[in-house]
Amino acid sequence: MGDMTGINKLISKALPGDIILLAPEDDMPESAKPEKCIIKADFDTPFELIEYAMSHPFSHYIQYKADTYTDELQISCNMLSKRSNFKLDGIIENLKGEQFERYKIDDVHRFQFRCRDDVGKIEQSIEQCLEALPRNQVTTSAVPLIIDEFMTNAIYSAPLGVEPEWDNVRQRDNSEIVYSGDRCGIVGVAANDEYIFLECIDPYGTLVPQNIISGICQTYKRGDKQVLRDDETRGGGIGSRMIWDKCVTFGINVIRHNCAMVFCVIPYRLSLRKIANHPKSLHIMVSGE
């Protein structure tokens, strides 16, 4: 780990409340709560980060060698200190704040969805929002794929155990797959000169972040064949890995039995080859009961 004393001093002054910034080799102070810890590290590979997160359940893992380190730290602090706003605003809304530099945005586009048929419509709308951006693998392939995976999970997996008889919903006719009552999901998208920001909020709050992290971990460890077999019943591994490879930041925020949000940041002026090995950040928060 490099010497970040200067920036640490600066940052530790600004850290609100009981939030603690730790390096992986640091001992956690006795008074600290793991869910309030931000890990700042220099993981050699994206797999190393995932493996670390598997065995060290903190909230935020950010990389000080990333050129967006201070923005990632700010996201972590905002998530830790303003968690109650997320159901209404999502994460991306926060990026309008003056504290952000590389991630600063002006506008967020939001779309509501209630059924599988909405996926295509929202993908089309997002394509229109981003049509001024260069055409490359990120804008034409990665963004639609991530939106699809986000929404598919929100529609098929999030209602499991909450909606009656949802277990076999994948086998049913599309038109039947509709959230009940007033429930709806929300997709948010924003972009600035360098990055695209995507998020998806489902109104169930059943998502278990550890399953996603462990699914990604398995794809690295065992190869995707075995994961796919497991996937047939549980969902997870391959889709999450596809997202993880294509973004530089991946975040999950769950308010149990209330809502769950996933979000990611994707640079669109970098090749996918560079993105795959870029220092990545991971944000995981679970609250409520």
Residues at the interface with other proteins (CB under 8 A)? 116, 120, 123-124, 133-137, 140-141, 144-145, 148-149, 152, 156, 170, 174, 219, 223-225, 228, 231-232, 235, 238-239, 242, 268-273, 276
Distance CA 282, CA 138 (A): 20
- By beta-carbon proximity to other proteins, the closer residue of 21 and 264 is 264
Report, in Å, the least distance between residue 59 CB and other proteins.
26
The candidate with the shortest Cα–Cα distance to 138, out of 57, 34, 235, 248, is: 248
- By beta-carbon proximity to other proteins, the closer residue of 60 and 280 is 280
Report, in Å, the least distance between residue 232 CB and other proteins.
7
193, exposed or middle or buried, with CB in 10 Å at 0-12, 13-18, 19+?
exposed
Report, in Å, the least distance between residue 98 CB and other proteins.
27
241-to-47, 155, 205, 245 alpha-carbon distances in Å: 10, 19, 21, 6
- Tell how far CA 174 is from the center of its chain: 27
262, exposed or middle or buried, with CB in 10 Å at 0-12, 13-18, 19+?
buried
Query: Can you state the percent helix, strand and coil of the chain, rounding each to 5?
Result: 45, 20, 35
Check residue 165 and give left, alpha or beta (phi > 0: left; psi -120 to 50: alpha): left
- By beta-carbon proximity to other proteins, the closer residue of 3 and 173 is 173
Report, in Å, the least distance between residue 81 CB and other proteins.
34
Amino acid at 283: H
- By beta-carbon proximity to other proteins, the closer residue of 257 and 269 is 269
- By beta-carbon proximity to other proteins, the closer residue of 23 and 242 is 242
Report, in Å, the least distance between residue 67 CB and other proteins.
14
Distance CA 4, CA 220 (A): 30
- By beta-carbon proximity to other proteins, the closer residue of 39 and 151 is 151
Report, in Å, the least distance between residue 162 CB and other proteins.
20
